[in-house]
Amino acid sequence: MTALKKPMTLGRPSNAMGDLTLLAQIRPATLDKIEKSVITLYASDESEVAADSVTMQSIAKHANVSLQTLYKYFGDKNTLIYVILDRVLSRLAARMIDHLSGIDSVKDRLRKTLWVMFDFVDHNPDAVLFFSTAIPVSHYQHIAIYENKDLMEAFLQVLSDGQQRGELNQNVSLKTLLDVFMGFITRLGLMHVLRHAAKPMTADFDPLFDILWQAISRHD
């Protein structure tokens, strides 16, 4: 699988901060079909050449919905992409929060956080490719609808508690710890999918967690 030669050019979606209340009226089954189609199209081999080869027309055709339906509920392709991203990440956040419930140890919470992320990659390889091709990383901080607070707060709470308890590195900012943590996960996850690894990420969980722990834990 080759790198993208022509990344998709994105500006802020025109209605990202506007009225998306119509989404509440769309049938869940229809939204599920649209989500599946968007992820499948962006993860396909054809999308390697140019991410902008995925159009509203191709999404409508793949999802077996009318083009009018897509424009009615989403307005434009950028907003459609961001809605799907937020939808997938919201489910991941809910699972993350559920798994962290009742765990007090910083190290155990970090282990569980990493395991949930690895398990997500193992079961959602197309979603991983979608994340990497649909939107350039440089645009993430500028996308209002992409700010999944539940997921980010779950990560930040674990890392913040670790710093406050003196178990994680206190010589760098919380944001830097988050960047190291997210960089570790996203790079490993993406390359695992691109290399078509035969075994799941969770199979190497213990040695990989040891690497992460050594990188961000406090060393006196």
At 136, the pLDDT band (50, 70, 90 cuts) reads low
Tell me phi and psi for residue 24, to 5 degrees.
Answer: -65, -15
Which pLDDT does position 125 carry in this prediction? 95
| Higher-scoring residue by pLDDT: 128, 48 | 128
Q: What is the pLDDT of residue 12?
A: 38
Over residues 83-123, the pLDDT tens digits come to: 998 899 889 989 999 998 889 999 999 999 999 999 999 99
How high is the mean pLDDT of the chain?
84
Q: Cα(97)–Cα(79) distance, rounded to whole angstroms? A: 26
Enumerate the domain spans of the chain. Answer: 21-216
The reported pLDDT for the residue numbered 138 is: 58
Q: Is 139 helix (H, G, I), strand (E, B) or coil?
A: helix
Predicted confidence (pLDDT) at residue 8 exceeds the cutoff of 70: no
| Segment 140-168 mean pLDDT | 78
Q: How far is CA 177 from CA 152, 170, 189, in A?
A: 13, 9, 18
pLDDT, average across residues 4-21: 43
The pTM score is: 0.82
151-186 exposure pattern, b = at least 16 Cβ within 10 A, e = fewer: beebbbebbbbbbeeebbbeeeeeeebbebbeebbb
The reported pLDDT for the residue numbered 13 is 39
Tell me the average pLDDT across 6-11: 36
What stretch of H or E contains 121?
A: helix 106-123
Q: Does the pLDDT of residue 33 top 60, yes or no?
A: yes
> Which numeric CATH code is attached to 21-216?
1.10.357.10
Q: What average pLDDT does the segment 176-205 reach?
A: 94
Higher pLDDT, 106 or 52: 106
